[in-house]
Every structure is written in structure tokens, then in C-alpha cells.
Structure 1
Amino acid sequence: MSAVVHNPVVIIPGVLFWDSLYEVMKDALSSYMPRAKIAIAPVSFIDWVGFPPSPERSTNRVMAAIDKSVREMGRKYPGEPVTLIAHSGGGTVAMIYLLENSFQGDVYHPGESVGKLITLGTPFHTHEHYAKIKTDFIFKHITNDFFSRIQVITVASSQYSGDANGSVVEKMCYLFYKNVDTDGNVAGDGIIPAKSCVLEGATNIVIPHAEHLPTPHTMWYGTKEGVEQWIQWL
């Protein structure tokens, strides 16, 4: 597949996932653009959990890793706005980073150094406690002007339907979806319901075949097959 010139990319891991899991996404993206222009934010499992445990501060720790990567890409490719590709709960952290409002004492000002955010399976509507801390902040501070400054594309999958009375897989999906939103009888990526990923003001995309978890032997958003379904929006 021929390479296409794109602005530099920073990949942001999802909640409880770490940077090395995203090498498969970096490999997949390198079929479309120079590998040197792809970085993975240096996020660890401990960044999400904290030591001693402080998950309420995870957003602050991960924002610092994002900012480090954005600045490094800016030095390597001056004048080229970075595209952030954020998986799962990493997407809400990226939004808070880009909003340029103080979150628990920390604020960043990436300005024009970031031009686009692509979220993959990111729930913007959720009642999970720590996720809701982030989404409440986002909806408090986001404005229409934000979307004129940053292009936001949300990607969700509708591969698995949840059904409380269905097959074993459908029952499991039902429970996962209900843990995120109020209705488990919906379609999603096996963990996050697609409708929870919709963000008013963004370009919202639903792809048919992608799983949520970045684990071996799954066709998640970051595999070759997953990337093929959303690469046109990069």
C-alpha cells in the first residue's frame, strides 16, 4: 500500500492500557504514512492507577505524557499540526488537554500545535465514576468555537449487539454496555456502546467491525483491519 504524507501523529493509550500495546497500531499506520511521524505517548499502567493508588489524578499524569509527545513532534516537524489518535478513555483525557482549562490544577496550551483529534471507542456519555469526572468537565467547558479550532472525529464500532436475553456474547455485551450507559440493548464494540461515543459538534463515525480491547487475537481499532475502516479520516 502506497504511503500518504500526513501530519505527525501521537497515539494515546486507553484507560489501564500502556504504550507498548499500541505498537500494532503504529505498524498499521506506517502503511499509510512515514513511521518516523508516528509516536505513542509514554503512558504506563501506573499512570492510570497511581502509586499509591490515585486514579482521580490519572488525567493529570496522562496529560503530561501527551504534552511531552506533542512538543517532541513539534520540534521534529515545525509548522505541521499534530493529529492525536486516542483510544477509549484516552480520548476524554485528550479533550481535556485540548480545552486549555485548568483541570485539578493543571492546564496546557497546545494552541495550533494540534489540529485534529480522532477518538476510538471513547465514551463521552457514561455514568462510570472516574470517566464521568472527565466528561462532566468536558461538557462544562466545551464551546462551538472549540470545533472551529480543532477538528474532532469520533469513531465507534457496532460489531456486537447487547441483549439481556440473547446468546452468551450478547448477554456479556449487555452487561458491559449497561455499565457505561443506561441501556444495554444496543450495539457497540463489545465494551462501549456506539451511541455513548457520539459527541455533538464532532464528526461521528460508526464502523462495522472493530473490537474494543487492544489484546492479542482481537481485531480492535488499532489492528490493520481496524485501521482500514477509519484511516480515510486521518
Structure 2
Amino acid sequence: MSENGMNDIEPNPVVIIPGVLFWDGLYDGMKQELSRTIASERIAVVPVSLLDWVGFPPRPELSTNRVMAALDRTIADMQQRFPDKPVRIVAHSGGGTVALVYLLEKEFQGDVYHRRKSVSTLLTLGTPFVTKEYYAKMKTDFIMKHLSDDFFHDCRVVSVVSDAYQGALDKGLIEKVCYHFYMNVVGEGNLAGDGIVPVTSCFLEGAENVTISGIEHLPTPHAKWYGTKEGVEQWVDML
């Protein structure tokens, strides 16, 4: 039992990484939902702002480096607070590719980190590992170049994505909008996905690829997204 009387999944800390152009405050609800099964003091959200993603003056090509630095500080803090406990990372959207670049322990635009042995699991939520979007592709190209089978011996990777929305041009407004979002990601729109990224873009060879239902991508008010009760319940047991 944890200090607040709940049964923990396991006594290991969890670090949450926001998605691209999202900030840490949007993940308070996810942390609260996770705290139903994991002691809240063992959960940390990487302190990321919109400025970290954009830069000032704007340098979005360096966003991965800025967010990796914040992630490294957060993991170091968790290691200090919970010695000898491997960290589990939960990463939303493009935060998942930032996490994987970080964990590869290869130099990316001048920066490299060496904490993979301290991380037991990377669980991504709506993270596209296949994309044609320019800044995202900088990360996915790097991942595909350096990712090997040996990586998965050190770190378990679970890629979770929802198939809530079908993209289609011959249906309603929502389907049309999804079609264009999916086109922007992979060049094809007649696919199922979470409203922003198609399911197929989140499949990563070597990972545990899991499709869930009824969950949206964006952390918008009143939406059932990956960080709400309805979303967390579908992936928390995979940590």
C-alpha cells in the first residue's frame, strides 16, 4: 500500500512528458487520474512551457534539445527522491519522440544523455513514429537511424493510440477534418486515428503497439482524451 492508502501498480516513479506545443499545466488532470493507483508523490510532470517548444527568438528546431534538458532534470530529481527505483515515462504526442531520442543515448544536435538504465518503460500516447511533418521528422529520422533491437532489451516501449475517428472526405465535418490531419501526418487520410494522428503512424517495430477506443488526442476541455479518467483507465495497467 502507498502512503495515501492506495494499491500501487509497482513502487516506481512516473514522469509525464507533455506533447508538442502543450505545457505542463494541461497534464494536472492526468496526474490526478494516475494518482488513483500510483502515489501522487511518485508522479512528476516535466515542467515544459509553450516557449520551450517554440523558442525565443523562435527556434523550433531546437525544441527537442530544450525539452530533453527539462526531462533530464526531472528524471534526476526522481532518482534522488527514489533511489534504485527505475522511472517509467508516460509521453503524449510528440513528447514521445523527444523521450525516445533522449533514451537512445546518441548525440542529437550537440546533446546526449545517459540515463537509459534508469528507465524501465516508455509508454507513448498518440505518438507518431511515422510522419512527414518537418520538425517531427527530424526526430523520427534520427530514431530510425539509431534504434536497434538491443534498445528494447534495456527499455520496454508501449505505443498506445486511439482509433476513435475515421478520416473521410465523403462523410461529415469531423471525418473531413480528421482526413486532413491524417494527410498532414502520413500523406493518407482514409484512416482511423485519434483525430490528429492515424493509428498506423504510431506503430513502432519492436514496441508493444496497442490500439484503444473512444479517446481523443487533444487535451481540450470536456474531451475524453488520453489524460482523462476514460483514457487513463485504458492504459494505466500497461505501465
Measured against the shorter chain, the TM-score band is over 0.9
Query: 2:7 is matched with which residue?
Result: 3
1:79 aligns with 2:84: yes
Report the 3-state secondary structure (helix = DSSP H, G, I; strand = E; otherwise coil) of the residue aligned with 2:150. Answer: helix
Contact 2:6–2:39 (CA<8 Å) still a contact in 1? no
1:111 deviates by 3.1
Query: 1:133 is matched with which residue?
Result: 138
Report the 3-state secondary structure (helix = DSSP H, G, I; strand = E; otherwise coil) of the residue aligned with 1:108. Answer: coil
Query: 1:217 is matched with which residue?
Result: 222
- Alpha-carbon distance in 1 for matches of 2:6, 2:177: 40
1:119 aligns with 2:124: yes
Which amino acid in the other structure matches residue 53 of structure 2? W
Query: 1:176 is matched with which residue?
Result: 181
Report the 3-state secondary structure (helix = DSSP H, G, I; strand = E; otherwise coil) of the residue aligned with 1:42. Answer: coil
Query: 1:189 is matched with which residue?
Result: 194
Describe the superposition over 1:87-144 as per-residue Cα deviations: whole angstroms up to 9, x where unpaired: 0000000000000000000000003111110000000000000000000000000000
Query: 1:227 is matched with which residue?
Result: 232
Q: How does 1:1-234 map to 2 (within 5 A)?
A: 2-6=6-10, 7-234=12-239
Count, aligned residues: 234
Describe the superposition over 1:43-93 as per-residue Cα deviations: whole angstroms up to 9, x where unpaired: 110000000000000000000010000000000101110000000000000
Q: Percent identity?
A: 59
1:3 deviates by 2.8
Report the 3-state secondary structure (helix = DSSP H, G, I; strand = E; otherwise coil) of the residue aligned with 1:229. Answer: helix
Task: Give the superposed CA RMSD.
Answer: 1.0
TM-score (norm 1): 0.98
Which amino acid in the other structure matches residue 131 of structure 2? T
Q: 1:169/1:111 Cα in 2 relative to 1: closer, same or farther (>3 Å)?
A: closer
Contact 1:5–1:34 (CA<8 Å) still a contact in 2? no
- Alpha-carbon distance in 1 for matches of 2:158, 2:192: 19
1:4 deviates by 1.8
| Runs of 4 or more consecutive aligned structure 1 residues displaced over 4 Å after TM superposition | none
1:2 deviates by 4.5
